[in-house]
A and B are shown apart, each in its own frame.
Chain A
Amino acid sequence: EDQVTQSPEALRLQEGESSSLNCSYTVSGLRGLFWYRQDPGKGPEFLFTLYSAGEEKEKERLKATLTKKESFLHITAPKPEDSATYLCAVRSNDYKLSFGAGTTVTVRA
């Protein structure tokens, strides 16, 4: 069964203080690693898909990277609007995503 572990559970940052979130995974044949952002009371919003080790994707202040065992989501010079829960998920078959518990990021002005 696919397993996804995210750390830390919570991260408090000062505005402009860069940091990284970790997603470790165990899967029988990775067919995609996904990052989502979730605001309180809302559904997850898609950010990135990574397919192979060494791949990187960027969007504004966010950059996702992938190795054979883990993925990192780097937040560069975060702003308060980057406060959210960031979810990591893996796909090992044609359709289903298995999610981690998420990292809740709070950015203070």
Chain B
Amino acid sequence: DTGVSQNPRHKITKRGQNVTFRCDPISEHNRLYWYRQTLGQGPEFLTYFQNEAQLEKSRLLSDRFSAERPKGSFSTLEIQRTEQGDSAMYLCASSLPSGEQTRPNTGELFFGEGSRLTVL
């Protein structure tokens, strides 16, 4: 499978615990994104990497959230001291730079299946 891969798919944790999600993007994509989606809402942007550099962080990303992309390959999203309000689907996406798109429909983000977090 050459799509975006996310692990774990489901995580149930108790309030106050730390959790970490992993995203493996499509291999030739140098751009990587994290989004959060709650029930009945569209995905909300959290952060963006170009290669290993984190270029934008949403104000939604509190100090308890940290994302890394060592060596510009896979990425991790860690949530410390989880709260019930953190319960959501965490989506990872990747893309090529817009100037390198070759398909007729260009500029799109390719999403993984998501990691669903439930905080009890």
Residues of A within 8 A of B (CB): 4, 6, 31-32, 34, 36, 41-46, 48-49, 57, 87, 89, 91, 94-102
Contacts and interface: CB of A to CB of B under 8 A. Distances in A.
Interface stretch (B39-47, B63-71, B80-88): B39-47
B21 interface: no
B98 to A, nearest CB: 6
Interface of B: 4, 31, 33, 35, 40-45, 48, 50, 55-56, 91, 93, 95, 98, 105-114, 116
A75 B112 CA distance: 25
B108 A43 contact: no
B111 A89 contact: no
Interface of A is mostly: strand
Contacts of A48: 105
A99 B42 contact: yes
A91 B107 contact: yes
A44 B37 CA distance: 11
A96 B56 contact: yes
The listed residue with most A CB atoms (<10 A of its CB), out of B48, B110, B111, is: B111
A32 B107 contact: yes
